[in-house]
Chains A and B, each alone.
Chain A
Amino acid sequence: MDNNIEKRLQSLKDRLSYARDIFAGKHDDSLSMLEEKLAEFNARASMGEIQDPYTDIVTLEDLFSYVESRLEGLITPMDKVRIVRHPQRICLRDILENVYDNFTEVGGQDEHSLDPSMLIARAVITRRHGKKTHTQSVMIIGQEKGHGAEFRNGGSVKPWGNAKAQQYMRVAETEGIPIHAYIFTPGSYPVEDYPGAAQQIARNIYCMAGLRVPVIAVISEGGSGGAEAIGLADKRLMLSHGYYSVISPEGAAAIEGHLKAGERATPELIEHCAEHLHITAQDNLRFGYIDRIIQEPPLGARPNHFEFFRQLRQEVIRATDEVVIQSRGLPGFRKLALSRLRRPDINLDETYLRWGLSSSNKDRLVERRQQKYLHFAREAALDKRPFLTKNAAALRDWLSKPWVHLKYDFYRKHQRRIKSMVEEVGSEIDLIKSRLFSPWRKIARLPAKKTQAAELTSLSNWVDDQRRSKWNYLSPRYKIDRTLTCPNSATYGCLDLWGPDLFAEFAGVCSHCGYHFPMEPEWYVKNVFDVDSVFEFNAEIEAGNPLEFPGFDERIAQAKAKTGVKSGCMTFEARIDGIKMVVAMLMGTFRGGSVGAAEGYKFVEAAERAAKKRYPFLAYVHGTAGIRIQEGTHGVIQMPRCTVAVRRYIQAGGLYMVLYDTNSFAGPVASFLGCSPYQFAVRSSNIGFAGPGVIKETTGMDIPPKYHRSYRALSRGHIQAIWDRRQIRANLKQALLTIGGRNLYYR
């Protein structure tokens, strides 16, 4: 047997073991047949019985291809999960070598890197136009799984790896070159170091929401937060055998099966979750969260599929060209150029389009990207607002826009100038007056002595005596005659607390150590804001079951019945000492405060309302367990989407504050909450990316106690201060008066 035949045989062996791996025991008859044929050929070849091995091996290879393409039709979503995780799967280095013409790795090499699972490279694409050759630079950012090399950590990026990515996104922005992001990650590495996992992902998403260069993302394995950290792109392409999901099927199964730490989900449950989470490229194209699918060879792309790489090259160039065209030029010309790009026979290597953008083009680029995300997933929420109301609201918005513009951008500016002039003149007059009248004043002063004595000894007026009726709302638990033990009593020796004291007067705070017992969302709504100032809007937008996840309709209905609200996010306008503000509250009582399409929709609407009215915007997180996994990518898309809304609000000169209470974890913290420059936490809250169980499960690490405590979040700079629950109102007032926002109505 010559070398060539042996190599081809080895390749067939690899194909077979690959197929066995990805089908995990299924389709055994077909695969056994292949194995038999392979063994037979092998035996005969080594005995020298084959006359013309080159013809025979082609027959065998054809058989393999035939069986593979037949099995291709039987691939289930879980098989795709196994495909993207397989060590033979293409990885980012293969793409760099085969798709781009040259590249230089930056930010570390191989294992000598801040985080080897995040690979950054400056790459070039050479395109010929006529006789001229053009070299175009791109910044490649992506997770590197490295065919199973251990130091790559499976593409699970540590916070500092994401920070590296953010740094080079900024570099690309400075240099004005497009970014190609390749997503090969099962999820981020959930450590709360400096920076914390959630903290850094939030920064990345916030950064990408305003990046002034074209961003193209290619998704192979899109695992939740880790994917979003580099995934907020103008165009999102997806490999046909990839998956893009809110959580790994195993993780979903653990949650669905209510598994405790250490227990394993059954393969059936995992398969069930993989199917119903709608994680495939085809599903996501249908939802609109990706723009195009890049077809892979049967059973998924592996490093020797060179045709696939050529196709991928065409697709990323096309996507980049499209983004550039859509950001610039005249509308008519744009359409023409786009239709030319989409011609199937075009070879983009032989066309040329400059990728540089002017400043106004960049504005358009960012605006288009933001609008794209803002429009995602609206249909996934149940909007039960009556048709007329919806339209009336839209009309009102449209009509009030010029008025608001006139009021704040024109009138207020000039009003301030006039006011300061009046003040100056006034103080001059006062000065002259005081000089003129000074001889008389001394005489007039004498009787003041008596009033002074009266002031010091008789009853004064005291209007703001609110000390008696300290709380407008008491937790209903105060009616129960029972004692509660403070969780810190073993450490600090707190005496047991009597429920009626604790849940009424003490506001749920241990009177000895200050531990905060969780309170109902109503407590905050009624006690933090001025009495009767709360005006809820968009209450009719309801959480639903957009993926028709089995059994979830009932559970959502239960949550609605239990809490009396229609979604986990309540948005309202309220006042604190007369200062009006918009508040979006994530309620831990509604399915753990998880965020789905409805919650995201309401959050975005609230941010837009705040921007329009020039109100401060507060995200009060009573509790959030993360993205609602049963909504799949409808949920996960809320991360970039809400972040875009927040970024637009902040850039319009608003004041966006976040206040965490109880437990705040995962997606929301890693995006639209964690990106706020002003985040605060109520004492005894926990903040982080993944809970202790998940960290143990995914990293094998035992985490120290108090790992997610707000004080640690404060130390690593995630939040800015820790507040006592009883002080929230006063602290918010203080914050409203002292920080943020050049465009707030009361400034």
Chain B
Amino acid sequence: MSTLQDLYKLPLNQHKVLVANRGEIAIRIMRACAKLGLPFCAIYTAEDAASGHVRHAREHGGEKSLYRVSSYHDANELMAVADVAECTAVHPGYGFFAEDFRFARRVTKRDRKMIFIGPSWKIIRELGDKINTKRLARSLGVPTVPGSDRPIYDEVEAERIARSVFEFQEQQGIKRPLVLVKASAGGGGMGIEEVYDIDMFRSVYRRIRNYALRQFKDEGVLIEQRITDFNHLEVQIVSDRSGQHPVHFGTRNCSIQSTGLQKRIEVAPGFAPHNISYSFNAEKVLVDIVHYSLTMARKVGYDNVGTWEWIVTRNGDPFLMEVNTRIQVENGVSARISTVNNEGGVDLIAEQIRTGLGQPLGYGQEAIAFDGVGIEYRLIAEDPDNRFTPWVGRIERFSWQDQPWLTMLTHVPTDEPYEIPTEFDPNLALAIVWGKDLDEAKARGREFLDGLVLEGHNAAGDSLKSNVNFLRANTERILRF
């Protein structure tokens, strides 16, 4: 039985990575492994047999590189596959087990230990707890959403705080102040309610408290200001296992979202102060949030890739929202505008795997430079006019014009029809467009969308619905507050 430290000392090519995910991210992880000369092992479920990642694993994987499991959600099965395939590390991708500290803990604490390619489980746990993150931020002077930073159990105290959150907003000149009551133990948007009138507060508070008690066995609630008019920005952080020298790969703006607050267009960098005028000092905001994010990363000894999510109000006040302790879908758009030691072709997933397995990062912030603007479109089979309802059916034609400024990431085959599985989210492809400035990037984005062919039918014979028109219409809005 080897210890984790022994595993970190292994040379790269003696590792084998379990790709514990599906679709587009599974393909990107396998490609990154290949780039690093690492064997890998992929998994798939019966419904997912036609997915591109299965084909990719079959064509590019070696021995013991593809296993069928009954569910991507069953950790026991993943462990069994890892043992049979003799994997030494697990890459969770995003979603599924990516931010599950228990899974990470299990991978590293079981009898046959493996490396979890992601931050250490303690960091996932620490930053996965919203109260803990908020308190950590405040202890470092990092701005957070005004409101309580600990669970409130007492009704009288809760009302006093809610009252002062209302008053605070009135002093800021906010016309319709809102207070958010949320279960402190909750997550994923459950147990959250808005209050627009202090007289309503007590009944909402009691409802949330009772819900929290039933659902999470903890009746503590958080009381915060609800910010409505904001932009959603992110800072991409990369660090090696030393946790000492985190670097950043710039900022992203993810403000164009569906009605369900799912990201649809991501842009790097986060603002374009040279092309667009803002009512605040946008350049300073970007510098500040990068600085705050790195401060926190250093404090916790952050030891892999991660994203600090921020909301920036119309006044230019940034507030830390949360930390995503995983690789994100949109990591490619940051990589696209970055160079390391003046070399392009940065692959953040490869960097994640390399550092995750114990290699030092090998360069500092000064080696990283940024050039131009990147736009990532998420191509999704859905109906934006009807509350972004997912569309399920068969894709018959899917093609685009290859361009030097275009990167397409997809698990949907272009040479044969593809049935969209109903079990997973109907994400079809990511298109990353690069331009030397915002105007060029937008023009190329439109050019790409105009040339895209995406056709198909569902069982009822209706033709495919996609968000291409939504993406085209919103390209104009990019980086505008």
Name A residues whose Cβ lies closer than 8 Å to a Cβ of B: 449, 452-453, 455-460, 462, 465, 481, 483, 495-496, 498, 500-501, 505, 724, 726-727
Mask for B104-116, Cβ within 8 A of A = 1, else 0?
0110011100000
Contact of B138 among A458, A495, A501, A726 (CB under 8 A): A458
Is B149 in contact with A449, judged by CB distance below 8 angstroms? no
Q: Which of B104-130 contact A (CB under 8 A)?
A: 105-106, 109-111
Name B146's contact: one of A457, A724, A727 (CB within 8 Å). Answer: A457
**Residues from chain A with Cβ under 8 Å of B147 in the complex:** 456
A452 to B167, CA, bound (A): 9
Please choose the segment from B73-81, B273-281, B298-306, B369-377 that sits at the chain A interface, where 4 or more of its residues have CB less than 8 A away: B73-81
Q: Across the interface, do A462 and B150 meet the contact criterion of CB distance under 8 Å?
A: yes
What residues on A are CB-neighbors of B106 within 8 Å? 498, 500-501
CB pair A452 B149 closer than 8 Å: no
Nearest CB to that of B74 among chain A residues?
A495
B-chain residues with CB within 8 Å of residue A498 when the two chains form the complex: 75-76, 102, 106
B144 contacts the other chain (CB 8 A): yes
Q: Which residues of B contact A456 (CB under 8 A)?
A: 146-148, 161, 164-165, 168, 225
A495 touches B73 (CB 8 A): yes
* Complex-state Cα separation, A449 to B167, whole angstroms: 9
Q: Could you show 27 A-B contacts with beta carbons less than 8 Å apart?
A: A452-B164, A453-B146, A453-B168, A453-B171, A456-B146, A456-B147, A456-B148, A456-B161, A456-B164, A456-B168, A456-B225, A457-B146, A459-B135, A459-B138, A460-B148, A462-B135, A462-B149, A462-B150, A495-B73, A495-B74, A495-B75, A495-B76, A500-B106, A500-B109, A501-B102, A501-B105, A505-B102
CB distance from B329 to the nearest CB of A (A): 26
B139 contacts A by Cβ under 8 Å? yes
Q: How far is the CA of A602 from the CA of B148 in the complex (A)?
A: 49
The size class of the interface chain B forms with chain A is 20 to 34
B residues less than 8 Å from A462 (CB atoms): 135, 149-150
B143 within 8 A of A: yes
Contacting A at CB under 8 A, from B363-390, are none
* B171→A460 contact, CB < 8 A: no
Smallest distance from the beta carbon of B168 to chain A beta carbons, Å? 6
Most buried by A among B105, B149, B161: B149
Given contacts A456-B164, A496-B74, A500-B105, 5 further A-B contacts (CB under 8 A): A456-B148, A457-B138, A457-B144, A500-B109, A726-B217
Min C-beta distance of B399 to chain A, whole Å: 40
> Given A452-B164, A453-B168, A456-B168: A481 and B110 within 8 A (CB)?
yes
Interface residues of B in 59-110 (CB under 8 A from A): 73-76, 102, 105-106, 109-110
Within the complex, the shortest CB–CB distance from A731 to chain B, in Å, comes to 11
B171 cross-chain contacts in A, Cβ below 8 A: 449, 453
Closest Cβ of chain A to B181, distance in Å, is 15
| A465 cross-chain contacts in B, Cβ below 8 A | 150
Q: Is the CB of B111 within 8 A of A481?
A: yes
Contact with A along B148-159 (1 / 0, CB 8 A): 111000000000
Residues of A within 8 A of B74 (CB): 495-496
Question: Bound state CA distance, A634 and B146, in angstroms?
Answer: 67
Instruction: Give chain B residues whose Cβ lies under 8 Å from the Cβ of A481.
Output: 109-111
Least CB distance, A204 to chain B, in whole angstroms: 38
Query: Which residues from B are CB-within-8-Å of A455?
Result: 161, 164
- Complex: A230 Cα to B267 Cα, angstroms: 83
A133–B143 Cα distance when bound, in Å, is 98
Taken residue by residue from 324 to 342, chain B's Cβ proximity to chain A (1 for < 8 Å, 0 otherwise) reads as 0000000000000000000
Shortest CB–CB separation between residue A15 and chain B, in angstroms?
Answer: 70
Q: Looking across the interface, which residue of chain B has its beta carbon closest to that of A496?
A: B76
Q: How far is the CA of A500 from the CA of B76 in the complex (A)?
A: 13
Q: Compute how far the CA of A50 lies from the CA of B135 in the bound complex, rounded to whole angstroms.
A: 112
Complex interface: chain B residues within 8 A of A501 (CB): 102, 105-106
**B217: chain A residues within 8 A (beta carbon):** 724, 726-727
> How near does chain B come to A498, taking the closest CB pair, in angstroms?
5
Name, among A455, A456, A495, A501, the residue most crowded by chain B CB atoms within 10 Å (CB to CB). A456
**Assembled-state Cα–Cα distance A505/B150 (Å):** 21
Q: Closest residue to B126 on the A side, CB-wise?
A: A468
Chain A residues positioned under 8 Å from B168 (CB to CB): 452-453, 456
Closest to A449 in B: B171
Max chain B CB contacts within 10 Å: which of A449, A455, A724, A727?
A455
From B73, B143, B149, B164, A459 is in contact (CB under 8 Å) with B149
Q: CB-defined interface of B248-270 with A at 8 Å, one 1/0 digit per residue?
A: 00000000000000000000000
CA distance A102 to B148 in the complex (A): 80
Min CB–CB distance B226 → chain A (angstroms): 13
Q: Distance (Å) between the CB of A495 and the closest chain B CB?
A: 5
Q: Is the CB of B110 within 8 A of A460?
A: no
CB neighbors of A among B166-180 (8 A): 167-168, 171
